[in-house]
Amino acid sequence: MEQIRVVVHGVVQGVGFRYHTRQIAQQLGVKGFVRNQPDGTVEIVAAGTQAQVQALLKWAHQGPASARVSQVDTEPYTGTEILDSFTIEH
């Protein structure tokens, strides 16, 4: 299992990014969560096989049609939460 934390920069809030991320993650079988950050970015925590996580990461570089992604930062995720579904956090 691979676990990563992703921070997506650009026009990514108010464009359905979290909703679409959850849809794609659920289709891929990825567990984790997505949430808006106060600085205007979107944070994604994803857990799954390497192929599943990489597919979600590839999608995050583009996002939904109304998003304008300018940068995507990734790092290993070392949190202790139990990731058993994919949710939108507020």
Q: Which CATH architecture has domain 2-88?
A: 2-Layer Sandwich (3.30)
pLDDT at 6: 98
Q: How many residues does the chain have?
A: 90
What tens digit of pLDDT does each residue of 62-89 get? 999 999 999 999 999 998 888 899 999 9
| CA-to-CA dists, residue 33 to 41, 42, angstroms | 14, 11
In the chain, where the domains are located: 2-88
Say which of 5, 18, 22, 68 is annotated catalytic: 18
What tens digit of pLDDT does each residue of 31-61 get? 999 999 999 999 999 999 999 999 999 999 9
Q: Is 36 a catalytic residue?
A: yes
Q: Is 35 a catalytic residue?
A: no
Say which of 5, 22, 35, 36 is annotated catalytic: 36
**Predicted structure pTM score:** 0.96
